[in-house]
Amino acid sequence: MTRFFSLSPRLFLVVAHAAIAIIGGISVGCYLILFPPYFRGWPEVTPEHSVAGWAVNEAAPTTSVEVQLYVDDHFIADGMADMSRPDVVAAGRAKHDKCGFNFVLPALEKGEHEAQVYVVHEVSAGTYRTLQRLGKPLLFKVP
């Protein structure tokens, strides 16, 4: 069998590492575009049977962000994090106080449930929309 080209083992390793670095860079770049690290926030289940919290976009700190609530992996509600939260500003987590949200939970069956809040992120001028979860899943019980 005839070889069309021949690489020394050392040159092969250099080329292989370069290819891995390029592919890794492209992967990280795509990840940062689709799932930006600049959304911050925290949700909690309140005693008033709602999921409330705050969310900010650190890349655009004076704009409100869209948030969505899911309970037991089912979409429940969509809204803007634009309620006044001066405590978040006082804690240094936001630059403006219009970063709060509050979703009233629907009637749920008795037992344990899991709520998750996501920030909606538009990519490529709204061509794509991705979700980034805020905090950890919230486990709660309906008596």
CATH number at residue 115: 2.60.40.2060
List, edge to edge, every strand of the sheet that includes 50-57. Answer: 39-45, 50-57, 98-104, 83-84
| Interval 3-30: pLDDT, tens | 555 667 777 777 777 888 888 777 776 6
pLDDT interval class at 83 (50, 70, 90): very high
- Tell which residue, 86, 113, 102, 89, has the closest CA to residue 43: 102
Q: State how far the alpha carbon of 74 is from the alpha carbons of 27, 48, 68, 70, 120, in Å.
A: 30, 21, 11, 5, 16
pLDDT confidence of residue 3: 59
Number of domain units in the chain: 1
pLDDT confidence of residue 4: 57
Please compute Rg for the chain using Cα positions: 22
- Has residue 15 been placed in a domain? no
How many Cα atoms sit within 13 Å of 39 on the Cβ side? 25
- Has residue 76 been placed in a domain? yes
Q: What is the pTM of this model?
A: 0.74
pLDDT of 1 strictly over 60: no
Q: What is the DSSP letter of 63?
A: S
Instruction: Decide if 135 contacts 53 (C-beta within 8 A).
Output: yes
Which residues form the domain of 130?
39-142
Instruction: Decide if 67 contacts 55 (C-beta within 8 A).
Output: yes
- Has residue 2 been placed in a domain? no
| Interval 96-137: pLDDT, tens | 999 999 999 999 999 999 999 999 988 777 688 889 899 999
- Tell which residue, 26, 116, 18, has the closest CA to residue 71: 116
- Has residue 31 been placed in a domain? no
